[in-house]
Structure 1
Amino acid sequence: MKVLLTGATGYIGSAVTDHLVAAGHQVVALTRNAAPRPGRGWHAQLAGDTADPASLAGVVTPDIEAVLHLAPPSGDVDTDTAVVEALAGPLRGTGRPFVYTSGVWVLGATGEAKGVTEDAPTHPVDLVGYRPTIEQRVLAEASHGVRAVVVRPGIVHGRGGGIPALLVDRARKQGVPEYYGKEDVRWAMVHVDDLAELFVAAAERAPAGTLWHGVAESAVPVRDLARAAGRAAGILAAPQVVTVAKAAETFGDLFADALALDQSVSGAAARAELGWRPTGPGAVADLVSGSYRPVEVFGAPEGAETDAEVAAIRRLVAEVEHAQQHELVDRFLSLFRRQDPVWTTGHGKRLSGFAEIAAFTQKVLPGATAYATAVYDVERVLFLQPGVAAVNVRQQPVASDGSRITDRPEGRPFYVLVKEDGAWRIGAAQNTLAVE
């Protein structure tokens, strides 16, 4: 299909462009001006501003086979209604798709309900107060022969952007991770690339007059997100909750209310009926060891293949951390290759062969985290050859609340990883204390 895409230069629009092109579609980007944007993967570019409905006259030409409206709302209900009219009107009677982007904030606080669905009533926070009206205006186009569809994304993460990036920035500036409202607030989350896949699915096969929640994780505790954002910022401290009134001093009343919104939202319908399959990392994992923590990479070309290998290595190191923190002996040992691994511990004990490593681990790991544990962050990866990587890791001792234990030295684990049967394993490891 030839797809007209508004918001094509934005955070979500950039990901949607990538996934539309990968699915074989041609993207016609609507941008505020006609200045060329090389390297975007667009088939064509048109000038038009969704804050000025009159500028959209004629942009939906007869060869446009779908319209995906991802541009942010203007803040004025009449303007946004006119934009829908300008973009959807030319599609009437064609059966072609018009996909509108809303958001789960139109649902308001979901209370004790778990995973509310698309048929739940709307109680929008003031920031998105008129959005349900626009949703209904879009869905009404189904009666005029438009395959009208509404997608409500959760809070979007991934590619180092979105609201989670704000949490990282605030942690870095304040010196402590923060979140807003109450202790138990939860957010419905989705990875930006998973959301992009849902937009592709909606354009390709969603029935007319349907509404879909773009949610991969129904209810992520924001306290956990804040702790992870602190770690991404290099701030190992217990998160603090900030009142809405205090947050409003920084973000304004409307956005502060939205950030404090407690929700549990289901995205099951899109999985069951559109075949949507979210595969991206969860929001907490993405903050801790994903796109919000860049890694220096050497010895391999830039590109998706190298990115995938680095992501797999980071998952392995995250497994080391998880096994250590939860004293999971068998899980920890499963991360070593069976054939002749070697390990020098932080206290200089040399272990040779899997049997020695297993015996040592079975002796020392149970009970090791009674008073403290550690976090592990990949800092550098050197690919020595395909399937062999040298990895520098930063190991920091933390208390049970995630705060840094300042009177204990850091570690600098060094791993030589070997890829066997499609999975990375530890072939050699040396833990070195970093003493000033």
Structure 2
Amino acid sequence: MKVLLTGATGYIGSAVTEHLAAAGHQVVALTRSAEPRPGRAWYAQSVGDTADPASLAGAVTPDIDGVIHLAPPSGDEDVDAAVVEALAAPLRGTGRPFVYTSGVWVLGATGDAREVPEDTPTDPIGIVGYRPRIERRVLAEAAEGVRAAVVRPGIVYGRGGGIPAILVDRARGQGVPEYYGDEGVRWPTVHVDDLAELFVAAVERAGAGTVWHGVGEPAVPVRDLARAAGRAAGVLASPQAVPVEQAAEVFGPLFAEALALDQSVSGAAARTSLGWRPERPGAVAELVWGSYRPVEVFGAPDAPETDADVAAIRRLVAEVEHAQQNELADRFLSVFRRQDPVWTTGHGRRLSGFEEIETFTRKVLPGATAESTAVYDVERVLFLRPDVAAVNVRQQPVRHDGTRIAGRPEGRPFYILVKEDGTWRVGAAQNTVVAD
């Protein structure tokens, strides 16, 4: 399909472009100027501006097989309605798809209801007050022979962007993680690459007049997200609740209300009917171990294969942390290769061979976290070969609530990892305590 995409240069649009192209579609990006954009996976550009509906005349040419409208709303209902008219009119009577982007905020607070579905009546908060009327305007195109559909994303994360990036920046700037409103606030979330795959599915096969929730996790406690954002920012402190009125001084009243909105939203319909499979790490895991905490990488090309290896290395170190924090000897031992691993502990104990490491682990790990534990963050990865990596890790002592223990020294684990049968494992390890 040749797909006209508005908002193609944005956070979500960039991901949608990549996934459309990977699925074999040709992306025609609607841009404000014809200036080339190197590095974009676009088939072509079409000049137009969604802030000026008149500029969209002729954007949907006869060879356009479908439209995905991702550009953000203008804030003017009449303008947004005129944009829908300009993009949808050329599709009438053709059965070609028109996919409009809304959002779960049109549902308002969901209260005690668990994972509300797409047929839940809308109750929009102020920042999206007129959006349900635009949704209805889009869905009415189904009666005109347009395969019109609406996608409502949850809070989008991943690739270091979206609203969670605000939490990271605030934690770094304020020195304490923040969340807004009540402690029980929950956000429905979706990874930007999972969401992009939903847009591909919608333009390919969503039925006319349908609404889809782009939600991977239905209700993530925002306090957990705030703590994870603090971890990404290097701030190990208890999250702090910020009243909506105080948040409004920073973000404005409309956005502050949105940040404090408690929702539990289902994304099951897209899984069942469109075959959508959101499989990326959850929002908390992505904040702690993913794109919000960059890793210095040396000795390997800037390529998807390197990104995949770094992600796998981070998962291995996350497994070390999880096994240590929960005193899981078998899981801790699983990170080592079986053939001749070596490990020097933080107290200078030299262990050689898997059996010696196993004996030591099973003796010292039970009860080791009775009073405190530690968090592990990958800081640098040097690829000595494609299948051998030297990894610097920062180990910080924390209480069981995740707060930093002041005055206790950090550790600097150093791992030599070996990739065997596609899996990274520890071949050698040196735990070094930082001395002031």
Same fold at TM > 0.5: yes
The residue that corresponds to 2:51 in the other structure is: 51
Question: Partner amino acid for 1:387?
Answer: D
The residue that corresponds to 1:210 in the other structure is: 210
The residue that corresponds to 1:239 in the other structure is: 239
- Counterpart Cα distance in 2 of 1:122 and 1:361: 55
The residue that corresponds to 2:326 in the other structure is: 326
- Counterpart Cα distance in 1 of 2:109 and 2:16: 28
- Counterpart Cα distance in 1 of 2:262 and 2:401: 22
The total of aligned residue pairs comes to 436
Alpha-carbon shift at residue 33 of structure 1 (Å): 2.1
Instruction: Say which SS state the counterpart of residue 314 (structure 1) adopts.
Output: helix
Are 1:186 and 2:205 matched, yes or no?
A: no
The residue that corresponds to 1:385 in the other structure is: 385
- Counterpart Cα distance in 2 of 1:129 and 1:361: 58
**Correspondence 1:215-230 to 2 at 5 A:** 215-230=215-230
Instruction: Say which SS state the counterpart of residue 394 (structure 2) adopts.
Output: strand
Instruction: Say which SS state the counterpart of residue 405 (structure 1) adopts.
Output: coil
Question: Partner amino acid for 2:173?
Answer: K
- Counterpart Cα distance in 1 of 2:407 and 2:21: 52
- Counterpart Cα distance in 2 of 1:280 and 1:106: 25
1:149-195 alpha-carbon deviations (Å, 9 max, x no partner): 10000000011000010001001110100000001111111000110
Alpha-carbon shift at residue 52 of structure 1 (Å): 1.2
Instruction: Say which SS state the counterpart of residue 391 (structure 1) adopts.
Output: strand
**Correspondence 1:238-277 to 2 at 5 A:** 238-277=238-277
The residue that corresponds to 2:115 in the other structure is: 115
Question: Partner amino acid for 1:3?
Answer: V
- Counterpart Cα distance in 1 of 2:420 and 2:171: 39
The residue that corresponds to 1:294 in the other structure is: 294
The residue that corresponds to 1:10 in the other structure is: 10
- Counterpart Cα distance in 2 of 1:262 and 1:328: 35
Alpha-carbon shift at residue 35 of structure 1 (Å): 2.2
- Counterpart Cα distance in 2 of 1:278 and 1:64: 28
Instruction: Say which SS state the counterpart of residue 13 (structure 1) adopts.
Output: helix
**Correspondence 1:53-92 to 2 at 5 A:** 53-92=53-92
Query: Gaps spanning 5+ residues in structure 1: where?
Result: none
The residue that corresponds to 2:156 in the other structure is: 156
The residue that corresponds to 1:31 in the other structure is: 31
Alpha-carbon shift at residue 34 of structure 1 (Å): 2.2
The residue that corresponds to 2:22 in the other structure is: 22
- Counterpart Cα distance in 2 of 1:184 and 1:368: 32
Report % sequence identity: 81
Alpha-carbon shift at residue 403 of structure 1 (Å): 1.4
- Counterpart Cα distance in 1 of 2:236 and 2:431: 21
Alpha-carbon shift at residue 370 of structure 1 (Å): 1.6
The residue that corresponds to 2:280 in the other structure is: 280
Question: Partner amino acid for 1:229?
Answer: A
Are 1:169 and 2:169 matched, yes or no?
A: yes
Are 1:310 and 2:310 matched, yes or no?
A: yes
- Counterpart Cα distance in 2 of 1:301 and 1:279: 26
- Counterpart Cα distance in 2 of 1:324 and 1:435: 22
The residue that corresponds to 2:410 in the other structure is: 410
Question: Partner amino acid for 2:139?
Answer: L
Alpha-carbon shift at residue 105 of structure 1 (Å): 0.7
Alpha-carbon shift at residue 86 of structure 1 (Å): 0.4
Are 1:399 and 2:376 matched, yes or no?
A: no
Deviating 4+ runs (over 4 angstroms): none
Could you tell me the TM-score, scaled by structure 1's length?
0.99
Instruction: Say which SS state the counterpart of residue 106 (structure 2) adopts.
Output: helix
- Counterpart Cα distance in 1 of 2:242 and 2:401: 18
- Counterpart Cα distance in 1 of 2:186 and 2:350: 45
Could you tell me the TM-score, scaled by structure 2's length?
0.99
Question: Partner amino acid for 1:351?
Answer: L
- Counterpart Cα distance in 2 of 1:124 and 1:416: 53
Question: Partner amino acid for 2:233?
Answer: A
Question: Partner amino acid for 2:253?
Answer: D
Alpha-carbon shift at residue 108 of structure 1 (Å): 0.9
Alpha-carbon shift at residue 386 of structure 1 (Å): 2.3
Instruction: Say which SS state the counterpart of residue 34 (structure 2) adopts.
Output: coil
Are 1:106 and 2:113 matched, yes or no?
A: no
Question: Partner amino acid for 1:126?
Answer: G
- Counterpart Cα distance in 2 of 1:388 and 1:116: 47
- Counterpart Cα distance in 2 of 1:128 and 1:108: 10
**Correspondence 1:352-367 to 2 at 5 A:** 352-367=352-367
- Counterpart Cα distance in 1 of 2:226 and 2:56: 41
- Counterpart Cα distance in 2 of 1:405 and 1:279: 35
- Counterpart Cα distance in 1 of 2:41 and 2:268: 31
- Counterpart Cα distance in 1 of 2:29 and 2:232: 33
The residue that corresponds to 1:423 in the other structure is: 423
Alpha-carbon shift at residue 220 of structure 1 (Å): 0.7
Instruction: Say which SS state the counterpart of residue 9 (structure 1) adopts.
Output: coil
- Counterpart Cα distance in 1 of 2:421 and 2:42: 38
Are 1:143 and 2:179 matched, yes or no?
A: no
- Counterpart Cα distance in 2 of 1:366 and 1:113: 41
- Counterpart Cα distance in 2 of 1:143 and 1:250: 44
Question: Partner amino acid for 1:57?
Answer: A
Alpha-carbon shift at residue 435 of structure 1 (Å): 1.2
- Counterpart Cα distance in 2 of 1:240 and 1:323: 28
Instruction: Say which SS state the counterpart of residue 248 (structure 1) adopts.
Output: helix
Instruction: Say which SS state the counterpart of residue 41 (structure 2) adopts.
Output: coil
1:248-271 alpha-carbon deviations (Å, 9 max, x no partner): 010011000000011111111111
